[in-house]
Chains A and B, each alone.
Chain A
Amino acid sequence: MLTPLSWLQKYVDITVSPENLAHLLTMVGLEVESIDRFGENFNSDQIVVGEILEINQHPNADRLLLPKIRLSPSETVDVVCGATNLSPGIKIVFAKPGATLFNQKSGKFQKLKASVIRGISSPGMICSELELGIGLGHENILILDKNLEPGSSLQGIFSDTILDLSITPNRPDCLSIIGVAREVAAITNKKLSDPEISYKENSAVSKSSPVEIHIESLDLCKRYCGAVVENVTVGPSPTWLKSALAKMGHRSINNIVDVTNYVMYETGQPLHAFDLNKIQDSKIEVRPAKNKETLLTLDNESIELNPSMLVIADSKNPVALAGIIGGLNSSVTQNTTRILLESANFNPTSIRKTASGLKLRTDASYRFERNPNEALASKALKRAIHLIQKISNQNVSCGKIIDAPGAQLASMSLQIDGSEIEKLLGVKVSQEEALSVLHKLGFQSNPKSQPSFSNDWTAKISIPNWRSDIKIQEDLIEEIARILGYDQFPTSNISGSIPEYIPNIPLHLREQVRDACVEFGMQEVITYSLKNESLLSSVSSEDSQNFVNIANPLNSETKTLRTNLMVGILETLSSNQNFLKEGPVKIFEIGRTFINKPGSLPIQNEVAVGLISGNSSSEGWTNTKNRKLDFYDIKGILEGVLSKLKLEVKYIPSEDSLLIQGQSADILIEETKIGKVGKISGHILSSFEINETNTLLFELDLNTIYSRSQNKIAFKPFATFPTSERDLTVLAGADIPSEKIESIILASKLATKCIPIDIYKQGSDNQKKSITYKIVFQSTSKTLTANEVSNEIKTILLNLKKTLDVDFRDK
């Protein structure tokens, strides 16, 4: 809501600086987003009122004129001008060389220079709105009121300070100058003056221009006030009106339309003016549109209507989309002589649905959506008639206001209780203080006030009609608190008992996973949850029927909720690879995945994905053994992460098509798959434009892990007797997993550790592999002799031979 201070000043005396006023308004809930200086260039004596004395033709150009302009009783000047709306006697804005004007070509404010145009010197310029920086009109020059004195400054008329207020949806009353003025009056302890609404009524009009108003449904239109004005002369608005609208960023159209807009900004009540001669049978119907009816709007757009939309119609056709926009055919034009002014109250939900459905948000619909009070309708109409009479000739005559179905204004009241204020705010507020705030805001109370030093008081508060947002006692308490100032209230600490602690195990485990990933060298990333549907399909094992799609996506890249974290992590690698050519990339993400579940919320499980790519270490002077990252690097990280969760898992060869078979594994807890690990297939990498083929990942379904984790540690006493180490080399078929050999070795009671320390493949087709294990022997009860260890090894060899077809070396 733009609020020019000069306009505000008409209704409340402003005695503080604009900055201070902005601060005060912000504190009470009317946030000032900016303080704008309007028409700053008028603050110079280079821009003055001029009077056109005569208009001559430019000798060298058909389309240029040479008006003679009076700048003072003794000073005239001839300048070159191309505008078509010049006529002798009019008052214009004249800029002398040195004045700062908006230059349309450069798009900037620049100093005007005297120039020679087609051989004629032109020491100055007659200005349009655009050049003055107060509007967009630039084809016609701006015409000022006739009573302005040539040579006088325009500073007082156009220059202004404008506060740009952000009005919250609960305060439709503040979408108006009066509403803001009311707040200013309350917070600065000033009196609010009301706008003048008196006008002369001519009873003959109701006979000469009888109008019938019919409201079909009071649910859709609570009140419709109309008034006929005859003998109007449609023409340009006076300077003050043009200037007021320019400050609101609104174009001047003609005097009648300008008045309706002016009154809307001033009071918050949207109005509309119809050319009564264009209203068939002088009949106004407020009704739902009929199917396939159309309306040509003021914007020259044809809209197809339907019965969900409320229209204003004459006896035949819609003439306006109620509360949103008027129709072109019934609009006020130069030829209009009789008008019907409309000031109504429409159903906010209906207006909102229609306006958002048509994507046609106007100043009017914005205000009606916020449910202004119906009491405003007649008041604003009177104000508009007053202004039309004020700016028009003597002949305009206005008929009696038609009020359909007649105001039924219920006054609302609430009880306020001193103890409730103390309970909510945590401090006592005296009755005197509380009621004085409410009175300033226009509330009335019973009792009026009586000194009371306890919180034991109550009062009945009548709500003024413009405050339809006040519905419960808490709303009244907020009024008191915000005007007294939130900063004036004390602070305290919560005094009650601390709620019972309920451990959040999933969260705890997840954060352990996160910390472990970081500990083992990975950088956390967080990617978008919405993905391109086909990209997601290419890496998802989930049927696309189970995808959760967005009905109104921002674009096709953000259409579908992810079902896994692959897309995000691969995109991250892809976007980073160009500047990370040398070192390893190690990244991970933890986040939700989404799978549709008809009739309920989607399944929203948490998944962790880790990815490594490139070389084992960064370039550097200490780095002597660089190599490509491989399966055992990613598995090592994964094992580290899982060990933090005390999880025992097993690995079986994976058939996942995203991973290279033979270099990938499924991860199982007992028989339940909890994830996968391995090297990513080339076709996946190339579809993400990833150049590094040594790219590996793991993915863990955290929700399954949450339910399986035995995050309980019990101390086990450790043996203190010396250990003996022996190396054992096993020659086994290449398809025998080391895990099996290890488990047979560890079946020995004395073998406490078995670490594969060397491995190489042999045979013609790498059919055999030779693995050397370091086996650590230790007894919990004594020091082992060499003989005992040798015997144990013999048993192990025997078991290995018996269970698996293996050979041994270095016996």
Chain B
Amino acid sequence: MKATNETEKIISEQLSALNKIGTAENLEEWRVNTLGRQGVITSILKSISSLPAEERKAAGSAANQGKIRLQDAFGIKQKQLLANDSSNSNDSLDISLPGRPTTGGKLHIITQTIREISSVFVSLGFQIEEGPEVEWGKYNFDMLNIPQDHPARDMWDTLWVEKDEHTNSEPLLLRTHTSPMQARIMEASSPPIRVIIPGKCYRYEATDATHEWQLTQIEGLAVDADISFADLKGTLYEFAKRIFGRDRQVRFRCDYFPFVEPGVDMSIDCFKCSGKGCSICSHTGWIEILGAGMVHPNVFKGVNYDPDKYKGFAFGMGVERIAMLKYEIDDIRNFYANDLRFLSQF
């Protein structure tokens, strides 16, 4: 009986030691010392064979039961520690410390803005198309009712592609706007059409705080038998309210683009001064958002649409401009400087 009592004593000592354990490291140490190959229990079990025969059974049973108790207690302790993680459950944390950083990146502010604008038009039944950035002069100008040597061409200073010496091909250019896609889409499909075309454009333009030679536009085109100026206003009004807020005033005024007639400029009242006049709105109280208009009959004729049968409206806006207004960015050059201190803010 002596050996059995000894075993009980050791087991209760081990159990109380286990109770005091607070860290995973100590628990592992305890496991090795107690339940491991060279641990206390193993040595007890080994010692049984040296006991007198009449004591062996009782001692073996006590040792085995004790081992099971210790294993169970170990399991429970392990779960407790896991639940408390590495720190003691009673410790209070410094909740002001920053959390472990996650690894997600961010979309460029231009991409975010394109998506935001696109989602408005997609919900109004428009589909997204894209087109070539290097374009034929024909699509960029002629098919948009901007003939060669017309002063309206001054509205788009152009970067021309070097002519190939060997082939006498038509002039190529970097598209100055996304409008060439109006003609391409109409050539490739028939009404009803409702598309928007986001994409990069390029201008022969010196760079300053409000001018960039690379820019992003979103073009829009809707063509059907009974599209009217009122639809143009309704669609763009909804767009302006969703992007800039229901409180904004929206204004439509006459403007000129050769590929539309009537031509439209849409402005919102200045969100900085609410129309009183400040430097953001050039003291006019209004901020231009986009150009638009009813598709010019000459554009329809160019793509073999019957202008008597179909009407349409088109619009185009600068993504950078909208982002600058929305996020109070004061210099357009930020967009392509790709300073991560800028990009990470959005």
Using known A-B contacts A424-B311, A492-B234, A528-B214, determine if residue A550 contacts B160 with beta carbons closer than 8 Å: yes
Using known A-B contacts A558-B213, A579-B341, determine if residue A526 contacts B228 with beta carbons closer than 8 Å: no
Q: Which A residues lie within 8 Å of B248 (CB)? A: none
Rounded to whole Å, the gap between the CB of A171 and the closest CB of chain B is 7
Within 8 A of A (CB), among B71-129: 97-101, 103-108, 110-111, 124-125, 127-129
Closest to A473 in B: B297
Q: Is B222 an interface position by the 8 A CB rule?
A: yes
Report whether B252 and A474 are in contact in the complex, using a CB–CB cutoff of 8 Å: no
Stretch at the interface among B20-28, B42-50, B56-64, B200-208: B200-208
Q: Which residue of A168, A502, A550, A587 contacts B159 across the interface (Cβ within 8 Å)? A: A550
Closest to A515 in B: B107
**What 1/0 mask marks residues of chain A from 190 to 217 whose CB sits below 8 Å from any chain B CB?**
0000000000000000000000000000
Using known A-B contacts A426-B230, A474-B261, A499-B194, determine if residue A520 contacts B103 with beta carbons closer than 8 Å: yes
Q: A525–B263 Cα gap in the complex (Å)?
A: 35
Report whether B105 and A601 are in contact in the complex, using a CB–CB cutoff of 8 Å: no
Q: Is B130 an interface position by the 8 A CB rule?
A: yes
Q: Which residue of A171, A426, A586 contacts B105 across the interface (Cβ within 8 Å)? A: A586
Report whether A168 and B104 are in contact in the complex, using a CB–CB cutoff of 8 Å: no
Stretch at the interface among A22-30, A680-688, A742-750: A22-30
Rounded to whole Å, the gap between the CB of B70 and the closest CB of chain A is 26
Interface hub of A526, A576, A604 (most chain B Cβ within 10 A): A526
**What 1/0 mask marks residues of chain B from 31 to 50 whose CB sits below 8 Å from any chain A CB?**
00000000000000000000
Q: Is A453 an interface position by the 8 A CB rule?
A: no
Q: Which B residues lie within 8 Å of A591 (CB)? A: 200
Q: Which residue of B172, B174, B254 contacts A29 across the interface (Cβ within 8 Å)? A: B254
Stretch at the interface among A112-120, A148-156, A617-625: A617-625
Q: A369–B224 Cα gap in the complex (Å)?
A: 36
Q: Which B residues lie within 8 Å of A514 (CB)? A: 107, 111
Report whether B149 and A353 are in contact in the complex, using a CB–CB cutoff of 8 Å: yes
Rounded to whole Å, the gap between the CB of B289 and the closest CB of chain A is 14
**What 1/0 mask marks residues of chain A from 505 to 535 whose CB sits below 8 Å from any chain B CB?**
0010000001001111111111111100000
Closest to B336 in A: A528
Closest to B111 in A: A524
Closest to A490 in B: B230
Rounded to whole Å, the gap between the CB of B123 and the closest CB of chain A is 11
Closest to A472 in B: B297
Q: Is B262 an interface position by the 8 A CB rule?
A: yes
Closest to A604 in B: B132
Closest to B135 in A: A601
Rounded to whole Å, the gap between the CB of B24 and the closest CB of chain A is 16
Rounded to whole Å, the gap between the CB of A213 and the closest CB of chain B is 27
Q: Is B335 an interface position by the 8 A CB rule?
A: yes
Using known A-B contacts A478-B261, A495-B226, A527-B336, determine if residue A169 contacts B105 with beta carbons closer than 8 Å: no
Using known A-B contacts A492-B228, A601-B132, determine if residue A621 contacts B97 with beta carbons closer than 8 Å: yes
Q: Is A714 an interface position by the 8 A CB rule?
A: no
Q: Is B343 an interface position by the 8 A CB rule?
A: yes
Q: Which B residues lie within 8 Å of A558 (CB)? A: 213
Q: Which B residues lie within 8 Å of A552 (CB)? A: 159-160, 204
Q: Which B residues lie within 8 Å of A495 (CB)? A: 226, 231
Q: Which B residues lie within 8 Å of A550 (CB)? A: 159-162, 174
Rounded to whole Å, the gap between the CB of A791 and the closest CB of chain B is 29
Q: Which A residues lie within 8 Å of B234 (CB)? A: 491-494
Rounded to whole Å, the gap between the CB of B236 and the closest CB of chain A is 9
Q: A31–B256 Cα gap in the complex (Å)?
A: 11
Rounded to whole Å, the gap between the CB of A488 and the closest CB of chain B is 10
Q: Is B166 an interface position by the 8 A CB rule?
A: yes
Q: Which residue of A349, A424, A486, A580 contacts B340 across the interface (Cβ within 8 Å)? A: A580
Q: Which residue of B99, B166, B263 contacts A598 across the interface (Cβ within 8 Å)? A: B166
Closest to B130 in A: A507
Q: A527–B263 Cα gap in the complex (Å)?
A: 33
Closest to B98 in A: A620
Q: A265–B200 Cα gap in the complex (Å)?
A: 40
Q: Is A70 an interface position by the 8 A CB rule?
A: no
Closest to B102 in A: A521
Report whether B336 and A169 are in contact in the complex, using a CB–CB cutoff of 8 Å: no
Report whether A575 and B129 are in contact in the complex, using a CB–CB cutoff of 8 Å: no
Rounded to whole Å, the gap between the CB of A169 and the closest CB of chain B is 4
Closest to B235 in A: A494
Q: Is B141 an interface position by the 8 A CB rule?
A: no
Q: Is B183 an interface position by the 8 A CB rule?
A: no
Using known A-B contacts A352-B151, A425-B230, A528-B214, determine if residue A496 contacts B224 with beta carbons closer than 8 Å: yes
Q: Which B residues lie within 8 Å of A493 (CB)? A: 231, 234-235, 238
Report whether A491 and B233 are in contact in the complex, using a CB–CB cutoff of 8 Å: yes
Q: A369–B125 Cα gap in the complex (Å)?
A: 42
Q: A572–B338 Cα gap in the complex (Å)?
A: 6
Q: Is B2 an interface position by the 8 A CB rule?
A: no
Q: A558–B204 Cα gap in the complex (Å)?
A: 11
Report whether B230 and A474 are in contact in the complex, using a CB–CB cutoff of 8 Å: no
Q: Which B residues lie within 8 Å of A527 (CB)? A: 336, 338
Report whether B224 and A489 are in contact in the complex, using a CB–CB cutoff of 8 Å: no
Q: A496–B311 Cα gap in the complex (Å)?
A: 12
**What 1/0 mask marks residues of chain B from 297 to 329 whose CB sits below 8 Å from any chain A CB?**
100000000000001000000000000000000
Q: Which residue of B169, B226, B251, B335 contacts A496 across the interface (Cβ within 8 Å)? A: B226
Closest to A168 in B: B256
Closest to A167 in B: B256
Q: Which A residues lie within 8 Å of B225 (CB)? A: 496
Q: Is B218 an interface position by the 8 A CB rule?
A: no
Q: Is B143 an interface position by the 8 A CB rule?
A: no
Q: Which residue of A522, A551, A580 contacts B162 across the interface (Cβ within 8 Å)? A: A551
Q: A2–B228 Cα gap in the complex (Å)?
A: 35
Q: Is A449 an interface position by the 8 A CB rule?
A: no
Report whether A494 and B231 are in contact in the complex, using a CB–CB cutoff of 8 Å: yes
Q: A588–B108 Cα gap in the complex (Å)?
A: 10
Q: Is B177 an interface position by the 8 A CB rule?
A: no
Closest to A171 in B: B256
Report whether B108 and A28 are in contact in the complex, using a CB–CB cutoff of 8 Å: no
Q: Which residue of A548, A599, A604 contacts B161 across the interface (Cβ within 8 Å)? A: A548
Q: Is A722 an interface position by the 8 A CB rule?
A: no
Q: Which A residues lie within 8 Å of B132 (CB)? A: 601, 604
Q: A494–B200 Cα gap in the complex (Å)?
A: 28
Report whether B127 and A504 are in contact in the complex, using a CB–CB cutoff of 8 Å: yes
Closest to A504 in B: B128
Q: A349–B296 Cα gap in the complex (Å)?
A: 23
Q: Is A89 an interface position by the 8 A CB rule?
A: no
Q: A788–B165 Cα gap in the complex (Å)?
A: 74
Report whether A487 and B105 are in contact in the complex, using a CB–CB cutoff of 8 Å: no
Report whether B297 and A474 are in contact in the complex, using a CB–CB cutoff of 8 Å: yes
Q: A298–B157 Cα gap in the complex (Å)?
A: 29
Q: A598–B170 Cα gap in the complex (Å)?
A: 11
Q: Is B152 an interface position by the 8 A CB rule?
A: yes
- Which residues does B use to contact A, with CB under 8 Å? 97-101, 103-108, 110-111, 124-125, 127-130, 132-136, 149-152, 154-155, 159-164, 166-167, 169, 172, 174, 192-194, 200, 202, 204-206, 213-214, 222, 224-231, 233-235, 237-238, 251-256, 258, 261-265, 282-284, 294, 296-297, 311, 335-341, 343-344
What are 24 pairs between A and B in contact, CB < 8 Å?
Answer: A29-B263, A170-B152, A424-B294, A426-B228, A426-B229, A474-B262, A478-B261, A486-B233, A490-B230, A490-B233, A507-B130, A524-B107, A524-B343, A526-B111, A526-B335, A550-B162, A552-B204, A561-B174, A580-B340, A596-B164, A618-B101, A620-B100, A620-B101, A622-B100
- Which residues does A use to contact B, with CB under 8 Å? 22, 26-29, 31-35, 168-171, 348-349, 352-353, 369-370, 423-427, 472, 474-475, 477-478, 481-482, 486-487, 489-499, 501-502, 504, 507, 514, 517-530, 548-554, 558, 561, 572, 575-576, 579-580, 585-588, 591-592, 594, 596, 598-602, 604, 617-618, 620-622
User: Which 10 residue pairs spanning A and B have beta carbons closest together?
Assistant: A426-B230, A426-B228, A29-B254, A168-B256, A478-B262, A521-B103, A482-B254, A491-B234, A498-B125, A486-B252
Known: A170-B152, A523-B340, A523-B343. 4 other contacts (CB 8 A): A521-B103, A552-B160, A604-B134, A618-B101
